[in-house]
Amino acid sequence: MQRIQRALISVSDKTGITALAQSLHELGVELLSTGGTHKAIAEAGVPVREVSEHTGFPEMMNGRVKTLHPKVHGGILALRDEASHVEAMEAHDIGGIDLVVVNLYPFEETVAREGVTRPEAVEQIDIGGPSMVRSAAKNHRHVAILTDPADYGRAVEEMQSQEGVISEEFRRELAAKAFALTARYDTAISGWLHSQEVAEKRTESRWPSSYATAGLKQMELRYGENPHQTAAFYTTGDTGEPSAANAEVLNGKALSYNNFVDLDAAHNLAKEFSEPFVAVTKHNNPCGAAVADTIAEALEAAWAGDPLSAFGSVLAFTRPVDMASATFLVDGNRFVEAIIAPSFDEDAFELLTTKPKWCKSVRLLACGPYGPSSRSCEDVEFKKLAGGFLLQDRDLAISGEWTVATEKKPTPAEEESLRFAEKVGKHVKSNSIVFCKGTRVMGVGAGQMSRVDSVHLAARKAGDEAQGCVLASDAFFPFPDGVEAAIEAGATAILQPGGSVRDDEVVAACDRLGATMVFTGQRHFRH
């Protein structure tokens, strides 16, 4: 392997760049740079040459053209062990560039800003940077490419210990990382450009003809859903929406695959509500949920929905976790895997992180304030299939006008409870049945293959509390047996989308048994 003799440095994110430049200079490396990077290195007192001096060609067009030159790309792409390449370098006075340090214009950060214009966004599409990154990564047998400040230290350590050489193993690793960077970058640009076409109504389809997604690995997980499965957690960019993906982990063991899945499910349900609300989630389904005057009262009511299932659950709070909530949780034989909340009051955090059994295990995540308006309608749901994938819009809808299908109309109290139940039912796996009393879940039937089985399951969970409950169903009742079972269990009012060929029979059953039924016209399957 050849010694690093010349490096080209051109970065948007200047984290650690002057320290790297100083170390390279001390190792005898000639430094080339551009624009603001050159200024930062020079002001740090490190000798550095302008790229324009190296190429003999000035920067032009407001910096759009500065590194797109044969003396740059020839110096990067030349195979040092290929005679014809060496002859071309000598004939055209092209000096080799052995190390490229580049990161890209902040396109994603720019388009995430409120009010950004199209010209502003387009100007942040980097051309020279990705070209140098790809050139260096392609020629990684001879050239090292650094795109991440986190790798600067390791590169310097290898050069210091190996007489100015960066190992082939590390170059390969850096090349893979570099192509991952350009893939993410191009994905972000392509996605944003298509979103602009949609916003400006220049295309009829919400979905582009080709869809790419890319993520940045945040951590490898102990295992996946089961111990024999490997797993990792990636982020796909900042949507501006508080989430389990961008929340700050304040305490606890490392998050598992199942923790992330349940935290996301609980948090998505909590985002339906602006009031003090707590969701208790187990295996990707809410087993308890409640709105109350205070967050501690909401927690206690949500936990009471299914105390047996609540042990080892994941919680989502719409308000900061206070001392009353923390005291409730640590009392008795209660335990949860993780809590996501806007924040944690100081005394509550201390109790949760010092109480035996809790302190070392429970994961506490702070995500900042959130509510229904914080949800991003531009985000999509992704489901991987063998050999393909499905995309869909998120189900952020909630029904507006209802049709009262029965002779009996819902009371104001029943209507309030039905609206609460509908929001919760959206986040229960189909077939979904939710029994509620007031703004509190009493029993949930989830994921059953027949709707009547979901009714029986929810009624059994609710027990005696099913008396006087309302019921929400995510889809229509295909036969009267489901509503008959619900009313027999104690339900007085039922919400469903309607649309069955047997709607008349289902409504007639409600009329015969003295119950209320409303049609929403909006289904909420969740598979």
Is there a catalytic annotation at residue 194?
Answer: no
Asked, colleague to colleague, whether 242-372 and 403-519 share their fold, the answer is: yes
Residues of the chain with pLDDT under 50: none
DSSP 307: H
d(C-alpha 431, C-alpha 527), whole Å: 8
Residue pair 423/398 in contact (Cβ under 8 Å)? The answer is: yes
CB atoms near residue 66 (< 10 Å): 20
Query: Using an 8 Å Cβ cutoff, are 342 and 366 in contact?
Result: yes
Report CA torsion sign: 22, 25, 26, 27: positive
The architecture in CATH of the region 403-519 reads 3-Layer(aba) Sandwich (3.40)
Please tell me which residue in 138, 253, 355, 408 is annotated as part of the active site: 138
Written out in words, the top-level CATH class of the domain with range 6-193 is alpha beta
End-to-end Cα, the chain, rounded Å: 54
List, in order, residues 6 or more apart from 125 with CB less than 8 Å away: 105, 107, 189
| Alpha-carbon span 307 to 298, nearest angstrom | 14
Question: Which of 301-330 are b and which e, b meaning 16 or more Cβ less than 10 Å from the residue's Cβ?
Answer: bbbbbbeebbeebbbbbbbbbbebbbeebb
Q: Is 140 marked active-site? A: no
Domain boundaries of the chain, sorted by first residue: 6-193, 242-372, 403-519
Residue in 115, 379, 128 with CA at minimum distance from that of residue 239: 379
DSSP-H helix ranges across 13-64 = 17-26, 35-43, 51-55
DSSP state of 218: E
Residue of 14, 85, 253, 283 marked catalytic: 283
Amino acid 121: pLDDT: 87
Q: What CATH topology corresponds to 242-372?
A: Cytidine Deaminase; domain 2 (3.40.140)
pTM: 0.86
Alpha-carbon gap, residue 279 to 296, rounded angstroms = 12
Residue 488 is predicted with a pLDDT of 96
CB atoms closer than 10 angstroms to residue 372: 13
Angle at 19 between CA 14 and CA 24, to 5 degrees: 110
Structure confidence at residue 1 (pLDDT) = 67
C-alpha distances in angstroms, 288 versus 14, 109, 418, 439?
A: 48, 38, 16, 11
